[in-house]
A and B are shown apart, each in its own frame.
Chain A
Amino acid sequence: MTENAQSTQATASSENYAVIIRDMHKWYGEFHVLKDVNLNVTKGEKIVICGPSGSGKSTMIRCINALEEHQQGDIIVDGTELTNDLKNIDAVRSEVGMVFQHFNLFPHLTVMENCTLAPIWVRKTPKAEADSLAMEYLERVKIPDQANKYPGQLSGGQQQRVAIARSLCMRPRIMLFDEPTSALDPEMIKEVLDVMIELASEGITMLCVTHEMGFAKTVADRVIFMDGGEIIEENIPDEFFDNPQHDRTKLFLSQILNH
């Protein structure tokens, strides 16, 4: 294959992929957190990432919107390569939504203002339009009646749904979730998962770090298992759960399923 042909193939493929991670490494000082990560996520694909604590799941998805810097390899998000160029980083961040384990809502702003902040200041949306957009997504996550409250006045499950609505208001093409339900009481987990399942049916690309195996079985196109900073195994959910290949995967699954 000529070099030319190869590069056209590369552009063609990057159009089909929402995220491309190639030979990516990351270090925290001396500590090698991510080792040779390769992952292609097609547009609209739902991916669930699991693995033991400290295996680098958070670090990997935080690299996708440049909250963490990678030191080697390439990350291409929606056709834009993440380099040191701050313009690229801002462009990627406004296309990629992120939901955190601890919600990170802005406590000094109302639910409504949390949702309209970025559309107004990043997308330059007129306020009325931003408000109705926010209302639309608050309805989608089923809390339109809380719009004028402050985050501190809501339950954990409600706060996490606001956080999801806040991200959606930027109309992202890719959503990242970092253990969105693990800080919640059991009775609130379902209300958040329901919102996420509904979202998954709408064609958005999702990467979700979670140990909710029921959610993975219903929603995921692919499950990825990480350990020690590496992707150990990836498969479609049925195969992954019923027929894991690696010993470490088997051990991990036996631990969380017996749990």
Chain B
Amino acid sequence: MNEAIASQPQRNIVSRLWNDKETRSVIIQIIAFAAIFAFFFFMVRNAISNLESIGKDISLDFLSQPSSYDISQSLIEYSSRSTHFRAMIVGILNTLLVAVFGVILATLVGFLLGVLRLSKNWLTNKLAYVYIEYVRNVPVLLHILLLHGIIVHALPLPKNAINLGDTAFLTNRGFFIPSPSFEPLFWVVAGLFVAGIFFSIWFSRYAHKVQDATGRHYPVFWINLGAIIGIPVLAYFILGSPIIWEIPELKGFNYRGGMVVRPEFVALWIALSLYTAAFIGEIVRAGISAISWGQSEAAAALGLSRGRILNLVVIPQALRIIIPPLTSQYLNLTKNSSLAIAIGYMDIVATIGGVTLNQTGREMESMTIVLLLYLTFSLLISSFMNWYNKRIKLVER
């Protein structure tokens, strides 16, 4: 023991630094950083000199040139005379559209599946189990192709469309649905809806304060539901339904008027959602069953009702387990949406990373843009989820 202490100062300085916990970690980080930097410097310099040797430079000028291609589904004004930049924006919006709708549907179906998997009813439990096992063991690309195939080949031509009450028409060219045009009074309804949201935020806090002060419970959920949904719906009818619906009509070989939801969007949206939902279902089941039965028993023994046990004891603990893997599912869904290209849905990859790239020959620039866009979306999603996770964690620990 004493000998070891005495001999320590005699060790050389490198060995001493290397064996110090903190300096060692700093040294490793410096080496790693330098290596990565050197590698990228080398690659970029090579790429630039190689491109130069075949007469190419790096430039983003192509973005302002006319795209001269059509896009079947666009949320903004777009034609083949628009620029490549605008085509990229259309692609971004289409990716966001399918990602946002996908995350919403996947979450709803996923939580439902998770709860069904926990139900004591043998049939619903086994049905959910079979669904999850089938869906998550088939590649998502096959789900997308299959669903697209069903819509395009199994649905009728527009002239024989499946007619849903003379308002919506399902065809192999897409789903034709009425499009709204808003009268001035509609904005009253919209205003009430927004007011309802603000009211609920205020009311939840108010109800909490009242409960702290007097012990009285308001049915917060139902009152907020009434304020956000009930009152605007009521106002809508009192004001004489201030939305005019334009119903699609069969003109020649296709429907005119109304809105069309493209088969590519429907196929991609449903396939991605149901696929991701299977994983979310398992995550939810695992999260809830990780909370020991003793927790529910202790809460029941205190006289708490079943609903309160779930809300106050089981769900807050389960969420802590569910949120991190749920985040990766949201990221997966967003990234998997790039499979859109297989069925010609014009997302980021199909526009800037597809047709634009082919027409302009700007591989380096286009692919870098695509990469940066996905990176941005992913970082946004995960930082939001991390923020949420921290918040519920802070409440707990």
Contacts and interface: CB of A to CB of B under 8 A. Distances in A.
Interface of A: 65, 67, 90, 93-94, 96-98, 100, 102, 104-109, 117-118, 120-130, 150, 163, 166-167, 170
B300 A120 contact: no
B304 A118 contact: yes
Contacts of B214: 126
| Most chain A CB within a 10 A radius of its CB, from B216, B295, B302 | B302
A27 to B, nearest CB: 18
Contact of B312 (A105, A117, A124): A117
7 shortest A-B CB distances, which residue pairs? A94-B303, A104-B298, A127-B212, A118-B302, A108-B396, A124-B215, A98-B301
A94 B301 CA distance: 7
Interface stretch (B57-65, B313-321, B358-366): B313-321
Nearest to B397: A150
B44 interface: no
Given A93-B303, A96-B301, A128-B213, 10 more contacts: A93-B302, A98-B301, A100-B294, A105-B298, A106-B313, A109-B396, A117-B312, A121-B217, A123-B215, A128-B212
Nearest to A118: B302
A117 B213 contact: no
25 contacts: A67-B297, A67-B301, A96-B301, A100-B294, A100-B297, A105-B298, A108-B316, A108-B395, A108-B396, A117-B299, A117-B312, A118-B303, A120-B215, A121-B217, A121-B304, A124-B216, A125-B215, A126-B211, A126-B212, A126-B215, A128-B213, A130-B215, A150-B396, A166-B302, A170-B302
A167 B211 CA distance: 21
Contacts of A107: 317, 396
Interface string B200-233: 0000000000011111110000000000000000
B305 interface: yes
B308 A108 contact: no
Most chain A CB within a 10 A radius of its CB, from B217, B303, B397: B303
A108 B397 contact: yes
Contacts of B299: 106, 117
A99 B397 CA distance: 24
B186 to A, nearest CB: 41
Interface in B287-301: 292, 294-295, 297-301
Interface of B: 211-217, 292, 294-295, 297-305, 308, 312-313, 316-317, 320, 395-397
B212 A90 contact: no
A233 to B, nearest CB: 28
A100 B295 CA distance: 11
A1 B297 CA distance: 44
A65 B303 CA distance: 10
Contacts of B395: 108
Contacts of B316: 108
Most buried by B among A96, A97, A121: A121
Contacts of A170: 302-303
Nearest to A130: B215
B297 A122 contact: no
A32 B221 CA distance: 45
Contacts of A129: 215
Contacts of A163: 298
Contact of A127 (B213, B297, B305): B213
A90 B216 CA distance: 19
A104 B295 contact: yes
Nearest to A97: B301
A108 B216 CA distance: 24
Nearest to B308: A121
A212 B56 CA distance: 88
Nearest to A119: B215
Contacts of A98: 298, 301
Contact of A122 (B302, B317, B396): B302
Contacts of A122: 302-304
Nearest to B293: A104
A65 B298 CA distance: 11
A170 B308 CA distance: 16
Given A106-B298, A108-B320, A150-B397, A90 B305 contact: yes
A85 B295 CA distance: 23
Contacts of B308: 121
Residue of A100, A106, A108, A129 ringed by the most chain B CB atoms within 10 A: A108
B295 A106 contact: yes
Contacts of B302: 93-94, 97, 117-118, 122, 166-167, 170
A104 B303 contact: no
Nearest to A93: B303
A107 to B, nearest CB: 7
Contacts of A97: 301-302
A90 B294 CA distance: 18
Nearest to B316: A108
B293 to A, nearest CB: 9
B297 A108 contact: no
Contacts of A105: 298
Given A104-B294, A104-B295, A127-B211, A93 B300 contact: yes
Scoring A126, A130, A163 by chain B CB atoms within 10 A of each residue's CB, the highest score goes to: A126
B332 to A, nearest CB: 28
Contacts of A128: 212-213
A123 B302 CA distance: 10
